[in-house]
Structure 1
Amino acid sequence: MNTNTYPSFQVLICDDDDSFLRSISFAIERYCGINNIIQCNDSREVLGKLNDGDIRVVLLDLNMPHISGDELIAQITELHPHISVLIISGINQVEAAVKCIKLGAYGYHVKTEDPERLSNSIMQVIRYQELNLENQAMRGYLLENQTSLHPAFSKIISVNHQMHSVFNYIESISNSQQPILITGESGVGKELIARAIHETSSCSGELVCVNVAGLDDNLFSDTLFGHKKGAFTGAEQARKGMIERASGGILFLDEIGDLNLASQVKLLRLLQEGEYYPVGSDTPKRINAHIIAATHQNLLTKKENGEFRNDLYYRLKIHHVNIPPLRERKQDIALLLEHFLTLAAQEFNKPLANIPKELLILLENYAFPGNIRELRAMAFDAMSTHQSGDLSMKAFESVRSAVPTLDIQAQLSKPLFESSSTLPTLKQAAELLVAEAMKRANSNQSLAAQLLGISQPALSKRLKKGQPES
């Protein structure tokens, strides 16, 4: 006999019909494995049970003596806003359903519905609450672990273990005299990492940032090294370069992968000799700044193609910090989205939006080619048209349409099966795909169908076929 309870929180079912209480409890345990259930046949007892128990999901009958279901919705929403309420009524009326949803109900179902469909809807509510609890735990973990990290990392929102390994590595190398190379896709926050390195170091000078992409050799020299008066036409005054401005601090060279070969020679000499010549000057100056470089490009590939100097590559890569893309940091998505929505709400002077129930699941299945920068843009764009209540899913239509897209070449590059193993049949492979899609979509059939590239009814049909005979 299985004594484990699921979910970790309690589900309260209130209906004045004892036979329905028994049947719905049996149905959701059979189809969903939900057995952490409290039954109640008197609506007057509901609020008391909510105060006493760890209840996060409530199933209510609409028409009950003493206190009706719609009256209870309003009270629960006001007193316990974290609780999700589902109405299960014997009346199939659109007006009643609309009224309940407006009052704050998660959904409206009729008692005569197919038990499996009703159970799937209840399971969605359970998954939603589990996500909320998981996000709360992550926020607690983040706060707890940030206290043991250097304050410089407080601006980088992450509970990802790879990122925390990066933080620890940065603390160990921040005072090194050797160059540091930061790599990662566009939008992962390489400049934030450079600022964290600066703040964790003992440098007394400032962090000076230079984007070298698009700089020709002359402009690169003038920007970094400066020039003396009369060095060229129009040079009426001597000008300090960025290296001198960064004296005692850190010079951050962003997009180093775009640096032309002529400028690469000058940068290499700067790193090797520790000195440079301002444009038009015969007197060398010593560099008194640490060097951090960053790129979204694959420098190893550029080196092998002759587009990046071999010696400069190894000079820059003495300390290497690689930032994982957002798609590998899925547990950070909820935290970052909430952070950006809060910033956007403040900027637009609007009430903070509620995150829709399906949005986090949708975003966790999205590849995020633009990484954190893309998520920030999404949040600000969504808040710009937001009025009140839940955030509109219309702002994320591009995500919804992109979710089913798979990188076929990337998939083919990985072996799906061991060469010595027996291949599954087509039927078994299809069942495995369906199971994996449902897992990734947290049992949300609509999103799972998108991942598989089929319609929701087609997926529902496959799921029914896969169920054992009762």
Structure 2
Amino acid sequence: MIDSVSIVVIDDNLGSLELLSAALARPGLEIFTASNPVDGIELVKQHRPRLVLTDLVMPGMSGLEVLDHVVAFDPAIDAILMTAHYTTETAVAAIRAGAADYLQKPVKLSLLRERVSALIDSAARRQRAHSGAEMEFEGLVARSDKMWELFAMIERVAPHFRSILIKGPTGAGKDLIAQALHLRGGLKGRFVVLNCSAVVETLFESELFGHVKGAFTGADRDKAGLFDLANGGTLFLDEIGDMPMATQAKLLRAIQNQEVMPVGGLTPKRVNVRIVAATHKDLKSAIAEGKFREDLYYRLAMVELAVPSLRDRPEDIALLARHFMRKFAHEFAKPIDGLTPRATLVLERHSWPGNVRELEHVIGRACMLTEGHLIDVDSLPDHLVQPERLNGAAPDDCGFGTTLTLEEQEKRLVTQAMKEADGNQSEAARRLGIGRDALRYKLKRYDLL
């Protein structure tokens, strides 16, 4: 809980206003109410609450307009919209506009309390993350603003989405993001996974929709498809860009109609399945090349989540390294307590083309090789320890091969890149082969800003 938490409730129905206030009342929570939007906005400006609850349809100003005022005043304030005319599409639109949640009236009071508590707790986690503490979100650990913005979006859309597209480089953790969406969605069904790049083209339809006995040679019995297995839950389609065009058309119909037709069957089956698709490819380019259906893309991308590269969130590298170190130390039954400062610096200096998966493999290897209580550079792969050249400069030109520490060497590299780029951070980041946010992190670290 955050100290001195306050909430503003806005509803033109006085009965609803009284009911909501009574339902949320608890020690440590201060509630301010307004029966019209203008007064409600003034309360927001006066008290800067942690949370705003507002009706969607009100005389003079809609809840979306109230949301615009709240976001413009302080984007950190969470807002929940309430309406008697709930649809998934309007819920997603409200969340895209900045709403933290979107509830149907009459609001179930138990659900309202649950969502409000979750938002307040989430704000507390963000505060702890910014203070430097290790934070976990459904198995994901992070400290960076980029990842906590992603976690906040997951919390907002998870109860409402029908389909979501996750984009990001290979190894960035798209599968864990998909699982977090499933867990935060409160679904009772299973989380079912299909790696589209690992399926033979002729078997796609059977894998997804199942088949009946005798549908083709070798079909000696009925077989349930993944849509059946995921009924009431989530179907995660990893590397959706590798799905054949013919299957894409049938997948689109299944998502739109929530019906599947088994191969060889005559009667469609009703299903209730949420779809999470993921890709490292540029699907818009694939559409232009005729390799991906545009209508399927827009159906999947009602909500898009972008998972950043590890090099663009350098403050998470040491955190993840310790997380994996504990995991593998336990798995290998080794008394490893941490990493040396120079080993940590080597990890932070690497560009991580394989992202979190590469880091996990590096730490797993290091844990196998380490004989003492700390992981040092001698347990890291040679390609991490050996400095890379910068624009063709020899290692000695950058201060390597001298008595400089690794930290001093990195500072010299960053300084040189900024000098060659005439102070242009984007150009300096390109020269170093890192993201602009990663460069800003290093500039702050070495007091070069």
The TM-score bracket by the shorter chain reads 0.5 to 0.7
Q: In the alignment, does 2:320 pair up with 1:336?
A: yes
Q: Classify 1:406/1:296 alpha carbon distance in 2 versus 1 (closer, same or farther; 3 Å).
A: farther
Alignment partners' CA distance in 1, 2:387 and 2:352: 10
Q: Classify 1:406/1:183 alpha carbon distance in 2 versus 1 (closer, same or farther; 3 Å).
A: farther
Residue equivalent to 2:149: 165
Residue identity opposite 1:286 in structure 2: R
Aligned 1:174-213 pairs, distance under 5 A: 174-213=158-197
Alignment partners' CA distance in 2, 1:302 and 1:442: 46
Q: In the alignment, does 2:274 pair up with 1:295?
A: no
Q: Classify 1:401/1:298 alpha carbon distance in 2 versus 1 (closer, same or farther; 3 Å).
A: farther
Residue identity opposite 2:315 in structure 1: Q
Q: Please state whether the residue corresponding to 2:177 is helix, strand or coil.
A: helix
Q: Please state whether the residue corresponding to 1:252 is helix, strand or coil.
A: strand
Task: Report the alpha carbon displacement of residue 178 of structure 1 after superposing the two structures with TM.
Answer: 2.5
On the 8 A contact 1:226/1:278 being kept in 2, the answer is yes
Q: Please state whether the residue corresponding to 1:308 is helix, strand or coil.
A: coil
Task: Report the alpha carbon displacement of residue 445 of structure 1 after superposing the two structures with TM.
Answer: 3.3
Task: Report the alpha carbon displacement of residue 299 of structure 1 after superposing the two structures with TM.
Answer: 1.0
Task: Report the alpha carbon displacement of residue 175 of structure 1 after superposing the two structures with TM.
Answer: 2.2
Identical pairs, percent: 36
Task: Report the alpha carbon displacement of residue 264 of structure 1 after superposing the two structures with TM.
Answer: 1.2
On the 8 A contact 2:336/2:375 being kept in 1, the answer is no
Cα displacement string for residues 432-454 of structure 1 (whole angstroms, at most 9, x for unaligned residues): x989x9xxx99833445677999
On the 8 A contact 2:163/2:276 being kept in 1, the answer is yes
Q: Classify 1:167/1:370 alpha carbon distance in 2 versus 1 (closer, same or farther; 3 Å).
A: same
Task: Report the alpha carbon displacement of residue 343 of structure 1 after superposing the two structures with TM.
Answer: 1.2
Cα displacement string for residues 334-393 of structure 1 (whole angstroms, at most 9, x for unaligned residues): 111111111111111111154122222222221100101111100010111111143231
Alignment partners' CA distance in 1, 2:138 and 2:131: 14
Alignment partners' CA distance in 2, 1:239 and 1:154: 32
Give 5+ residue unaligned stretches, structure 2: 1-127, 418-449
On the 8 A contact 1:366/1:403 being kept in 2, the answer is no
On the 8 A contact 2:377/2:385 being kept in 1, the answer is no
Residue identity opposite 1:202 in structure 2: G
Q: Classify 1:183/1:406 alpha carbon distance in 2 versus 1 (closer, same or farther; 3 Å).
A: farther
Alignment partners' CA distance in 2, 1:405 and 1:255: 34
On the 8 A contact 2:336/2:374 being kept in 1, the answer is no
Residue equivalent to 2:408: 445
Q: Please state whether the residue corresponding to 2:375 is helix, strand or coil.
A: coil
On the 8 A contact 2:141/2:320 being kept in 1, the answer is yes
Residue equivalent to 1:400: 385
How many residues align? The count is 283
Aligned 1:343-362 pairs, distance under 5 A: 343-362=327-346
Alignment partners' CA distance in 1, 2:387 and 2:273: 44
Q: Classify 1:407/1:205 alpha carbon distance in 2 versus 1 (closer, same or farther; 3 Å).
A: farther
On the 8 A contact 1:404/1:451 being kept in 2, the answer is no
Alignment partners' CA distance in 1, 2:392 and 2:172: 20
Q: Please state whether the residue corresponding to 1:240 is helix, strand or coil.
A: coil
On the 8 A contact 1:225/1:241 being kept in 2, the answer is yes
Q: Classify 1:391/1:177 alpha carbon distance in 2 versus 1 (closer, same or farther; 3 Å).
A: closer
Alignment partners' CA distance in 2, 1:186 and 1:364: 19
Give 5+ residue unaligned stretches, structure 1: 1-136, 147-152, 409-432, 455-470
Residue identity opposite 1:398 in structure 2: H
Residue equivalent to 2:430: none
Residue equivalent to 1:258: 242
Q: In the alignment, does 2:203 pair up with 1:219?
A: yes
Q: In the alignment, does 2:378 pair up with 1:386?
A: no
Residue identity opposite 1:444 in structure 2: E
| Higher Rg | 1
Alignment partners' CA distance in 1, 2:287 and 2:387: 33
Q: Please state whether the residue corresponding to 2:197 is helix, strand or coil.
A: coil
Q: Classify 1:231/1:259 alpha carbon distance in 2 versus 1 (closer, same or farther; 3 Å).
A: same
Alignment partners' CA distance in 2, 1:375 and 1:443: 19
Residue identity opposite 1:170 in structure 2: I
Alignment partners' CA distance in 1, 2:187 and 2:338: 42
On the 8 A contact 2:192/2:235 being kept in 1, the answer is yes
Task: Report the alpha carbon displacement of residue 139 of structure 1 after superposing the two structures with TM.
Answer: 9.0
Cα displacement string for residues 21-45 of structure 1 (whole angstroms, at most 9, x for unaligned residues): xxxxxxxxxxxxxxxxxxxxxxxxx
Give TM-score, length-normalised by structure 2.
0.58
Residue equivalent to 1:304: 288
Which of 287, 309, 322 matches 1:325?
Answer: 309
